[in-house]
Chains A and B, each alone.
Chain A
Amino acid sequence: MRVQNSIDKKQLLDRLSRILDSDSILHEAEDLRPYECDGLSAYRRLPLVVTLPETIDQVQTIVRICHEQRIPVIARGAGTGLSGGALPREDAVLLSLARLNKIIAVDPQQRLASVQPGVRNLAISEAVAEHGLYYAPDPSSQIACTIGGNVAENSGGVHCLKYGLTVHNISRLKIVTIDGELLTIGSHALDSPGYDLLALMTGSEGMLGIIVEITVKLLPIPERAQVIMAAFDDVEQAGHAVGNIIADGIIPAGLEMMDNPAIRAAEDFVHAGYPVDAAAILLCELDGTNEEVSEQVMRVRSLLTNNAATQITTAANEAERQKLWKGRKAAFPAVGRIAPDYYCMDGTIPRSKLAWVLRRISELSDEYQLPVANVFHAGDGNLHPLILYDANKPGELENTETLGGRILELCIEAGGTITGEHGVGIEKIDQMCIQFDEQELQQFHAIKAAFDPLSLLNPGKAVPTLHRCAEFGAMHVHGGQLPHPELERF
Chain B
Amino acid sequence: MADLANDIHAQVQDALQRQQPLAIQGSNSKSFYGNPCEAQVLEVSGHSGILHYEPAELVLTARAGTSLQTIHQCLHVHGQMLGFEPPAFGEQATLGGTIACNLSGPRRPYAGAARDFVLGCRIINGHGQIMQFGGEVMKNVAGYDVSRLMAGAMGTLGVLLDISIRVIPRPQQEFTIRKEVDTDKALQVIARWSQRPMPISAACHDGNHLYFRLSGNESALKSAHNKMGGDLVGEDGDMWVRLREHTHTFFDVDRPLWRLSVPPNTPMLAVDGKTFLDWGGAQRWLVSTSSADSIRRITTRAGGHATLYRNGPRQEDAFQPLPAPMLQIQQQLKQAFDPQHILNPGRMYKAL
Contact = CB atoms under 8 A, between A and B. Distances in A.
Interface of A: 108-112, 131-133, 153-154, 156, 160-161, 164-165, 167-168, 177, 181, 183, 187-197, 199-200, 202-204, 208, 220-223, 243-244, 246-247, 249-251, 288-292, 295, 348-352, 377, 379-382, 415-424, 428, 432, 435-437, 439-440, 443-444, 446-451, 462-463
Q: What 3 A-B pairs come out closest when comparing CB atoms? A: A446-B336, A249-B169, A199-B148
A350 B220 contact: no
Interface string B252-287: 000000000111110000000000000100110000
A36 to B, nearest CB: 24
B136 interface: yes
Contact of A193 (B79, B142, B283, B305): B305
Nearest to A428: B142
Interface of B: 54-59, 78-80, 102, 108-109, 112-113, 115-116, 125, 127, 129, 131-133, 135-146, 148-149, 151-153, 157, 168-170, 172, 191, 194-199, 216-217, 219-220, 222-224, 261-265, 279, 282-283, 303-305, 307, 319-320, 322, 325-327, 329-330, 332-333, 335-337, 348-349
Contact of B140 (A195, A220, A348, A443): A348
Contacts of B142: 417-419, 424, 428, 432, 435-436
Contact of B322 (A193, A289, A448): A193
Nearest to A190: B282
B131 A443 contact: yes
Residue of B133, B145, B194 most packed against chain A (CB within 10 A): B145
B261 A189 contact: yes
A111 B194 contact: yes
B85 to A, nearest CB: 14
25 contacts: A132-B195, A167-B145, A190-B109, A190-B282, A191-B113, A195-B153, A195-B330, A199-B151, A200-B333, A220-B194, A220-B196, A220-B197, A220-B198, A244-B56, A288-B216, A291-B220, A348-B139, A350-B137, A380-B138, A381-B138, A415-B137, A435-B143, A437-B131, A440-B133, A451-B329
Contacts of B336: 443, 446-447, 449-450
A195 B57 contact: no
Residue of A181, A191, A202, A244 most packed against chain B (CB within 10 A): A191
A439 B131 contact: yes
A381 B119 CA distance: 13
B137 A195 contact: no
Nearest to B317: A193
B169 A352 contact: no
Contact of B330 (A161, A194, A462): A194
A110 B143 contact: no
Given A189-B305, A190-B109, A450-B332, A196 B140 contact: no
B137 A348 contact: yes
A420 B329 contact: no
A133 B79 contact: no
Contacts of A417: 135, 137, 139-142
A20 B227 CA distance: 55
Given A183-B326, A444-B143, A192 B56 contact: no
B263 A194 contact: no
Contacts of B329: 177, 183, 197, 450-451
